[in-house]
Amino acid sequence: MKIIECVPNFSEGRDARKIARITGEIEKVKGVTLLNVESDADYNRTVVTFAGKPEAVKDAAFYAIEMAAEVIDMSHHKGAHPRIGATDVCPFVPVSNVTMYECVQIARTLGKEVGEWLGIPVYLYGEAAMISVRRLLPDIRKGEYESLPERLKDEKWWPDYGPAEFNENVKRTGATVIGAREFLVAYNVNLDTQDIQIANKISGIVRTSGIVKINEKGEKVRVPGLLKLVQAMGVHLKEHNITQVSMNLLNYKVTPPHVAFEDVKKQAGKLGVRVTGSEVVGLIPKEALLAAGRFYSKEPSEEKLIAAAMEGLGLSQLNKFIPEKKVIEYMLELR
């Protein structure tokens, strides 16, 4: 069977009724399984994971985006996480017997439907990008929702599909970024401090793009970060009185969670800050946990390796980590 995964991020993390209406649109589509729904009030964001047959997954994504446009008003949205629209980003990921090319075609087809039928500006990113400067999500999302009125006046940032104007509909929905990519692990490391400057400093040190400094000649120079294929930023979680180094591990085989965790912990220690644990947002491939388990333990069994990974990474600090509900192979019963 062909299986693809879809991981849309919606700009609502506080109103359970609105979130239920969005996920309800996914659940009603035959051939699709809703795997995970994870909301964060501080981020004011919900990450949804579902998988199934390619055409069914595309349809479910469309209905969810349509409902999000109905229940979320971006003109009143506030949250700690960067966002550009009611459905902020909607990536497709190949899981089983599906090529990246097929995911690209699904992303582009959905983008056209969302742009033309729902009147939402759509940008294509990742492997589905049709313009090279739009491959990276942060580049598209720069300035966030608040920048859209001016951005849509710039021909270079006209959307791939949908209206190139900030009309009343777009004022409410914002824009949506749709694409195709390999499996991404959304991974956050918790710092025992409320000082966002410390979280930002560590993020700049570890992320691939690094930081911009002024050299002796007064010129701006970019200093690359420590980790490969990693995006990172500092986030303050008021509800928990901590900050996080919030990361996207773009390829967990290049930079697995335990490597990111240990590097953040090392940098935090240099600044006199303690790391209290970490969290996975959405699902994670089993191999990423097994690699962490092998790093922290010499246990032979899969079950014990995953337990060692959870202990080593402190995965039960904020959100209780239940492997049966967080490991994609277990959720899809591909053990």
Residues identified as active-site? 81
DSSP secondary structure string for all residues of 163-197: -SS--HHHHHHB-EEEEE-S--EEEEEEES---HH
From residue 118, alpha-carbon distances to 56, 163, 307 in Å are 19, 10, 45
Structure tokens at 88: 């902020």
Q: Tell me, what amino acid is at 13?
A: G
- Find how far residue 228's CA is from the centre of its chain: 17
Rounded to whole angstroms, the Cα distance separating 114 from 110 reads: 6
143 and 152 Cβ atoms separated by less than 8 Å: no
User: How many CB atoms neighbour CB 109 within 10 A?
Assistant: 15
Residue 98: both structure tokens together: 């599906």
